[in-house]
Structure 1
């Protein structure tokens, strides 16, 4: 009897112990939950007690508020998109420019090593023919000089801190930066005007024809000694013209948007426009290097045409035989140039 009572007593104690342990566990969890809820409530109460806490939270998140200013973005106190633009400009855009210019220079160097200077096969005859009129040359050099100025100042903006600042004192760098900004901002609209004149003046000569496809298929004779037939302008010159047209218009339109920000442009519009402006400009610069090489060191007798307006007859026969034939036969628009075939007192080469 006593043993049965003791056994029941032990089993009852074990049950009671389990119940007590369960109760303590529940109390601990309940206490922790209550403490967490209390802490959260305290934080909410504290934030509600800080004047304008909700407002400053919205400000940090870029939410636009209400302002008396008519500007669309004056209600936005914090905008992190500027940092995103800076990283894009100084990162992939700047890297693109380095690679584009470096590859262009490398390509020119390899072409010169492989092909050398393209000479006039039969030598200079001493007789010249008019190729570019005075208005043509004025427009060309006006646009070319402005492009060089805009390119150098633009490159200073993009790479000045890493290339110029190490070799210039800060005062000189600041002075150059101010001058470069003025030249860039005022030279841009002048470049646009020159570009429009160039398009109007040279568009009739730059329509592609079947003969241009043949010229391109033969690589323009650059890597070989064969000289494919060409009219007044060959396919390479036409490609350069259209690249200048589309690239130049891209640079011009984006540049005008940046130059005159008082037409309701938003910050995002200006940032995107600046990136596009830089990419257009860097692409033009890279191809411009090739154009300069072909017109000067790469091809004997080519630069004289844009400097003096005349080219040697042998040069014309070799590089633009179809055009030269038109001049000799007096056909089409080239007929008026017949009287200009004459002995030249200008130097044969530059």
Structure 2
């Protein structure tokens, strides 16, 4: 593909944030699975070590995003993810009705915006409930019991949503290329994100 048919979608800093967050989230999910699925717990063993890795990885999970706020491009993309327009409602309507053809989207489509907002909120809730479970002497038993319930069920929901996120990525090699190299084809950008002007 000629260089002039590619457009920059993500900077190196944005790609680093995504990769680091994905790695930390992957460790959280895998260690959680080892703590809750008996067959995995027996296979891995060393429960105390798995708990420690899970706790510290969960604590580190927000750091790539916080560090990323030093990047002007990342801050601009966070602003785009938080800004909704009439085209987003049209995109959602077309997606819900499974209408083939073009769906209007700027740099991020409505589905990506919903995912980003949901996973950000879920991560904060997991961090708060995890801290309540970790520092048991700081909260009453009722709070810790509630935190455990929320943490466990939200973890299961995050696993399902992450599987969907990965499945969508596997179905779009050009989007994966954008996260790997920072560049996407102009044809893909025009087709998938017609309102985006790079």
Please state which band the TM-score falls in when normalised by the shorter chain.
Answer: 0.7 to 0.9
Secondary structure (helix, strand or coil) at the match of 1:321 reads coil
Cα contact 2:35–2:41 (8 A) shared by 1? no
Q: Which residue of 2 is the match for residue 290 of structure 1?
A: 164
Q: Give structure 1 stretches of 5+ with no counterpart.
A: 1-123, 328-350
Question: Aligned Cα RMSD in Å?
Answer: 2.3
d(CA) in 1 for partners of 2:96 and 2:13? 28
Match of 2:57? 187
- 1:291-330 counterparts in 2 under 5 A? 291-296=165-170, 298-323=171-196, 326-327=197-198
**CA–CA distance in structure 1, aligned partners of residues 28 and 99 of structure 2:** 35
Unaligned runs of 5+ in 2: none
Given the superposition, is the C-alpha separation of residues 145 and 299 from structure 1 closer, same or farther in structure 2, using an over 3 Å criterion?
A: same
The 1:165/1:228 distance shift into structure 2, 3 A limit, reads: closer
| 2:92 matched residue in structure 1 | 216
2:129 and 2:68 map into 1 onto residues whose CA distance is: 19
Tell me if the contact between 1:195 and 1:248 (Cα under 8 Å) persists in the aligned partners: no
Give the corresponding residue for 2:108.
233
Give yes or no for contact 2:92–2:110 (8 Å, CA) kept in 1: yes
The structure with the larger Rg is: 1
Alignment partners' CA distance in 1, 2:188 and 2:2: 9
> What's the TM-score, normalizing by structure 2?
0.86
Q: How far is the alpha carbon of 1:125 from its aligned partner?
A: 6.5
Change (3 A) 1:261 1:165: closer
Q: Could you tell me how far apart the structure 1 residues matched to 2:65 and 2:152 are?
A: 18
**Alignment correspondent of 1:146:** 24
**Residue 45 of structure 2 aligns with which residue?**
174
Match of 1:267 among 141, 144, 151: 141
- 1:268 Cα deviation from its structure 2 partner: 2.3
TM-superposition CA deviations, 1:15-34 (whole Å, max 9, x none)? xxxxxxxxxxxxxxxxxxxx
Q: Are the counterparts in 1 of residues 177 and 183 from structure 2 also a CA contact under 8 Å?
A: yes
CA distance in 2, matches of 1:130, 1:226: 24
Q: Distance in 2 between matches of 1:308 and 1:178?
A: 38
State the 1:229 CA deviation.
1.8
Q: Which has the higher contact order (CA 8 A, sep 6+)?
A: 2
What is the Cα deviation at residue 248 of structure 1?
A: 1.4
Q: How many residues align?
A: 191
The corresponding residue for 1:336 is none
CA distance, structure 1, for counterparts of residue 186 and residue 49 of structure 2: 45
Cα deviation for residue 205 of structure 1 reads 1.0
Q: Name the structure 2 match of 1:15.
A: none
In 1, Cα distance between equivalents of 2:21 and 2:106:
24
